[in-house]
Amino acid sequence: MTLDAQEARIIDIIDRVGWAVVNISPKKGDQNRRFVGLPVTHGWPELICFGLQLDTMMKLLNNAVQELKRKGLSPTPNLELTEVIEGTPARLETFSPDFYREHLGWALWFAHHRGLKPENIGCLQLLWPNKNGHFSSDARCDAEVRRIQTPINASLR
Protein backbone atom coordinates (compact mmCIF):
# COMPACT_ATOMS: atom_id res chain seq x y z
CA MET A 1 0.00 0.00 0.00
CA THR A 2 1.30 3.42 -0.96
CA LEU A 3 1.24 6.04 1.80
CA ASP A 4 0.74 9.75 1.27
CA ALA A 5 3.09 12.24 2.95
CA GLN A 6 0.84 12.79 5.98
CA GLU A 7 0.37 9.05 6.58
CA ALA A 8 4.13 8.45 6.29
CA ARG A 9 4.78 11.31 8.74
CA ILE A 10 2.37 9.86 11.34
CA ILE A 11 3.94 6.40 11.03
CA ASP A 12 7.44 7.86 11.36
CA ILE A 13 6.53 9.83 14.51
CA ILE A 14 4.84 6.85 16.17
CA ASP A 15 7.74 4.53 15.27
CA ARG A 16 10.25 6.99 16.77
CA VAL A 17 8.33 8.29 19.81
CA GLY A 18 5.71 5.62 20.52
CA TRP A 19 2.73 7.94 19.99
CA ALA A 20 1.71 11.02 18.02
CA VAL A 21 -0.35 14.02 19.00
CA VAL A 22 -2.58 14.98 16.08
CA ASN A 23 -4.77 18.02 15.50
CA ILE A 24 -8.28 17.01 14.40
CA SER A 25 -11.37 18.99 13.49
CA PRO A 26 -14.32 16.69 12.84
CA LYS A 27 -16.67 19.36 11.46
CA LYS A 28 -15.94 22.57 9.62
CA GLY A 29 -15.98 25.43 12.12
CA ASP A 30 -15.48 23.20 15.19
CA GLN A 31 -12.75 23.90 17.67
CA ASN A 32 -9.70 21.78 16.95
CA ARG A 33 -8.94 18.88 19.24
CA ARG A 34 -5.83 16.85 19.93
CA PHE A 35 -5.48 13.16 20.63
CA VAL A 36 -2.71 10.67 21.22
CA GLY A 37 -2.54 7.33 19.38
CA LEU A 38 -1.48 4.57 21.79
CA PRO A 39 -3.29 1.19 21.27
CA VAL A 40 -0.69 -0.25 18.90
CA THR A 41 2.50 0.79 20.69
CA HIS A 42 1.38 0.56 24.34
CA GLY A 43 -1.81 -1.53 24.33
CA TRP A 44 -3.58 1.48 25.88
CA PRO A 45 -6.76 3.28 24.87
CA GLU A 46 -6.49 6.45 22.81
CA LEU A 47 -6.49 9.70 24.77
CA ILE A 48 -8.47 12.75 23.65
CA CYS A 49 -8.79 16.27 25.05
CA PHE A 50 -11.10 19.20 24.28
CA GLY A 51 -11.51 22.88 25.03
CA LEU A 52 -8.05 24.41 25.53
CA GLN A 53 -5.47 26.08 23.29
CA LEU A 54 -3.96 23.53 20.91
CA ASP A 55 -0.45 23.83 22.34
CA THR A 56 -1.81 23.44 25.88
CA MET A 57 -3.75 20.29 24.97
CA MET A 58 -0.69 18.84 23.23
CA LYS A 59 1.40 19.49 26.35
CA LEU A 60 -1.24 17.98 28.67
CA LEU A 61 -1.61 14.83 26.55
CA ASN A 62 2.16 14.38 26.36
CA ASN A 63 2.41 14.97 30.14
CA ALA A 64 -0.29 12.34 30.70
CA VAL A 65 1.57 9.73 28.65
CA GLN A 66 4.85 10.59 30.40
CA GLU A 67 3.26 10.28 33.85
CA LEU A 68 1.60 6.96 32.99
CA LYS A 69 4.88 5.56 31.68
CA ARG A 70 6.96 6.91 34.59
CA LYS A 71 4.56 5.45 37.18
CA GLY A 72 4.02 2.17 35.31
CA LEU A 73 0.26 2.80 35.11
CA SER A 74 -2.25 1.85 32.45
CA PRO A 75 -4.86 4.50 31.66
CA THR A 76 -8.27 3.61 33.12
CA PRO A 77 -11.55 5.49 33.65
CA ASN A 78 -11.57 7.73 36.75
CA LEU A 79 -7.77 7.62 37.10
CA GLU A 80 -6.48 10.92 38.48
CA LEU A 81 -3.10 12.07 37.23
CA THR A 82 -1.14 14.50 39.38
CA GLU A 83 1.71 15.51 37.05
CA VAL A 84 -0.27 16.59 33.97
CA ILE A 85 -1.23 20.09 35.16
CA GLU A 86 0.87 21.97 37.70
CA GLY A 87 -0.93 22.32 41.01
CA THR A 88 -4.11 20.38 40.18
CA PRO A 89 -5.07 16.86 39.14
CA ALA A 90 -6.38 15.82 35.73
CA ARG A 91 -8.76 12.89 35.28
CA LEU A 92 -9.36 10.25 32.64
CA GLU A 93 -12.97 9.35 31.82
CA THR A 94 -14.57 7.06 29.25
CA PHE A 95 -15.10 8.53 25.80
CA SER A 96 -18.16 7.01 24.08
CA PRO A 97 -17.49 4.57 21.21
CA ASP A 98 -20.42 6.25 19.44
CA PHE A 99 -18.04 9.10 18.59
CA TYR A 100 -14.91 7.16 17.60
CA ARG A 101 -15.47 7.38 13.85
CA GLU A 102 -16.06 11.13 14.04
CA HIS A 103 -13.10 11.93 16.34
CA LEU A 104 -10.56 9.11 16.00
CA GLY A 105 -10.06 8.86 12.25
CA TRP A 106 -6.25 8.87 12.33
CA ALA A 107 -6.16 6.50 15.27
CA LEU A 108 -8.51 4.05 13.56
CA TRP A 109 -6.51 4.32 10.33
CA PHE A 110 -3.18 3.69 12.09
CA ALA A 111 -4.54 0.77 14.12
CA HIS A 112 -5.96 -0.82 10.96
CA HIS A 113 -2.65 -0.18 9.15
CA ARG A 114 -0.85 -2.08 11.92
CA GLY A 115 -3.41 -4.92 12.03
CA LEU A 116 -5.41 -3.95 15.12
CA LYS A 117 -9.16 -4.51 14.89
CA PRO A 118 -11.49 -1.57 15.65
CA GLU A 119 -13.14 -3.45 18.52
CA ASN A 120 -9.74 -3.57 20.25
CA ILE A 121 -9.47 0.23 20.40
CA GLY A 122 -10.71 2.18 23.41
CA CYS A 123 -10.59 5.88 24.18
CA LEU A 124 -10.40 7.94 27.35
CA GLN A 125 -10.93 11.68 27.60
CA LEU A 126 -8.43 13.74 29.56
CA LEU A 127 -10.42 16.16 31.71
CA TRP A 128 -9.12 19.27 33.43
CA PRO A 129 -10.85 21.00 36.35
CA ASN A 130 -12.20 24.53 36.46
CA LYS A 131 -10.32 27.08 38.57
CA ASN A 132 -12.19 25.86 41.68
CA GLY A 133 -11.03 22.26 41.15
CA HIS A 134 -14.34 20.87 39.83
CA PHE A 135 -14.41 18.54 36.82
CA SER A 136 -17.07 18.80 34.11
CA SER A 137 -19.02 15.86 35.56
CA ASP A 138 -19.49 17.84 38.81
CA ALA A 139 -22.58 20.10 38.93
CA ARG A 140 -20.42 22.74 40.67
CA CYS A 141 -18.24 23.07 37.55
CA ASP A 142 -18.77 26.22 35.52
CA ALA A 143 -21.25 25.69 32.67
CA GLU A 144 -18.80 27.17 30.13
CA VAL A 145 -16.01 24.80 31.19
CA ARG A 146 -18.41 21.86 30.83
CA ARG A 147 -19.51 23.10 27.41
CA ILE A 148 -16.06 23.60 25.85
CA GLN A 149 -14.45 20.60 27.46
CA THR A 150 -17.14 18.04 26.81
CA PRO A 151 -19.06 19.14 23.73
CA ILE A 152 -20.12 15.55 23.02
CA ASN A 153 -21.16 14.66 26.56
CA ALA A 154 -22.94 17.99 26.97
CA SER A 155 -25.05 17.25 23.90
CA LEU A 156 -26.12 13.97 25.49
CA ARG A 157 -27.47 15.59 28.68
The closest alpha carbon to 125, from 101, 104, 109, belongs to: 104
Query: 119 pLDDT band (50/70/90 cuts)?
Result: confident
pTM > 0.75: yes or no? yes
The CA distance from 64 to 47, in Å, is 9
Q: Report pLDDT for 156.
A: 40
Is residue 24 within 8 A of residue 105, CB to CB? The reply is yes
CA distances from 17 to 59, 66, 113, 120, 127 (A): 15, 11, 17, 22, 24
pLDDT in tens, 68-110: 999 999 999 999 999 999 999 999 999 988 888 888 888 888 8
What CA dihedral angle connects 42, 48, 52 and 57, to 10 degrees? 10
